[in-house]
Amino acid sequence: MTALIHPILLCGGSGTRLWPLSRKSYPKQFAKLLGDESLFQVSAHRLSGDGFAAPTVLTNSDFRFIVTEQLSAMGIDPKAILIEPDGRNTAPAVLAAALWLEKTDPDGVMLIAPSDHVVPDAQAFRDAVTAGLPAAQAGQLVTFGIKPGHPETGYGYLELAEEPGDFAARPLSLARFVEKPDAARAQQMLEAGNYLWNAGIFLFSVRSILAAFRAHAPDLMTPVQTAVDDARHDLGFLRLAVEPWSQAADISIDYAVMEKATNLSVVPFAAGWSDLGGWDAVWRETGRDARGVATSGAATALDCDNTLLRSEDPNLQVVGIGLNNIIAVAMPDAVLVADVSRAQDVKLAVLALKEKAATQAESFPKDHRPWGWFESLVVGTRFQVKRIVVHPGAALSLQSHHHRSEHWIVVEGTAEVTVDDEVTLVTENQSVYIPLGAVHRMRNPGKVPMVLIEVQTGSYLGEDDIIRYEDIYARE
């Protein structure tokens, strides 16, 4: 490559079509759906190496520490992590990244990529990016289109203005964007041979995309520019200013810019791709046996066909007998069973659970925090039992509670515990009592994760019953 490409990873989404594994509090990009790394981590790997700058990440406040934790586990130091005050779709996010990058590399080239896609052949994708780079440097807005493998109704399409031939990765002329079709139209486009799936991946120079926004979406310029100019640094993050950001339209980059621009090129990609937009896509991407059965975790299939069985808890055995075209996904707190043909309707289940005020609709069993994570093991009317894991060197905030007292029992590692003015070390098989109203904190002074069991008792056990006095993570 003749120019350094700045990967811009978008990971603020909260997809519901992969419920119960993907939820608002911990969406699919951070889950290990197809291996030992999350989709976000695999995406960061794919867009790294020769020719790529350190990634810039756009996410929201709830996910910022998950982003840093997962990048750190890979040894990747991001160029920047921009925090969106709230989700405003892809157009404001891309514009914010371009305006921020303009400050440091106005002649740079940006590669916009969602962080929840699956691309089995990472080198083939990097080669496609290389193929599109000259067009991007020449002022074109380059998008990437996927050679369709079946008549998909869940994707938008790109109609080519010229024949793709062997679908080799090279810039081609784009005729138009096509909305998600019905099944009959999708079949027609597949047979026509000059349509590609719209992957939502873009390559362009900073100057070209800013010119396109000024020409086609001028109303976005002032609020997003102000949000970037007034952004404040918070630990290792850059928080975009709340008030101007709220004035930006909620609109995709396709609608705001791409469908209006004339300097468009598309690079075909035929080496395999999926946005994992449903459990049927996960089933297709998972290794299946001769009968089309895919299992994951503590799952067993007996005399099944074309079925996906997953258990996300090693202590929860999922067994399918005589199933055909079935998806079954088990979590510690929720189980999904659906026909493969109804995979896109999983989002309706989430809506139904929200109407019932079920916490499983949006909340993940494990609650990830900057210091580690916790999960509720047992919940009663006046008590709760949690397992808490604290990373080496990490510490919870100095806090107190109005409505509950706590017992801490260390089961792995060592905890440094502060209770009012007393600081003690609590080792394995030791416990400590935190009275109602006591100012307290725990810290892991060791080099291995510290695990403890917390027993809460009181009249109210909600997570909002916390008064923070000090917090090394500057949480608001």
Q: Rounded to an integer, what distance in angstroms lies between the CA atom of residue 79 and that of residue 294?
A: 38
Q: What pLDDT does residue 2 have?
A: 56
Residue 312, pLDDT score:
92
Percentages helix, strand, coil for the chain, rounded to the nearest 5?
25, 35, 40
From start to end of 235-298, where are the E strands? 237-239, 264-269, 294-296
pLDDT digits (tens, 9 = 90+) for 153-182: 888 899 998 888 888 999 999 998 988 889
Reported pTM: 0.87
Identify whether the C-beta of residue 128 lies closer than 8 Å to the C-beta of residue 24.
Answer: no
**CA separation for the pair 329, 316 (Å, rounded):** 11
Contacts of 137 (CB under 8 A, 6+ apart): 2, 3, 109, 205
Judged against a pLDDT cut of 70, whether residue 148 lies above it is answered with yes
At 152 the pLDDT is 86
Residue 452: phi, psi to the nearest 5?
Answer: -140, 160
CATH superfamily for 5-269 is Spore Coat Polysaccharide Biosynthesis Protein SpsA; Chain A (3.90.550.10)
Tell me the two tokens of residue 325.
């075209």
Most trustworthy range by pLDDT among 270-284, 389-403, 457-471: 389-403
Q: What is the mean pLDDT of residues 315-331?
A: 97
Residue 476 pLDDT: 61
pLDDT of residue 453: 97
Which helix (DSSP H) or strand (DSSP E) does residue 220 occupy?
helix 218-229
CA distance 445 to 427: 11
**Cα–Cα–Cα angle for 18, 81, 66, rounded to 5 degrees:** 45
Residue 436 has pLDDT above 60, yes or no: yes
Residue 9 makes CB contacts below 8 A (sequence gap 6+) with: 40, 43, 44, 47, 55, 56, 57, 58, 113, 114, 115
Mean pLDDT of 290-303: 96
CATH superfamily of 366-470: Jelly Rolls (2.60.120.10)
- Which pLDDT does position 367 carry in this prediction? 86
Domain ranges in the chain? 5-269, 279-343, 366-470
Round the average pLDDT of the chain to a whole number and report it: 92
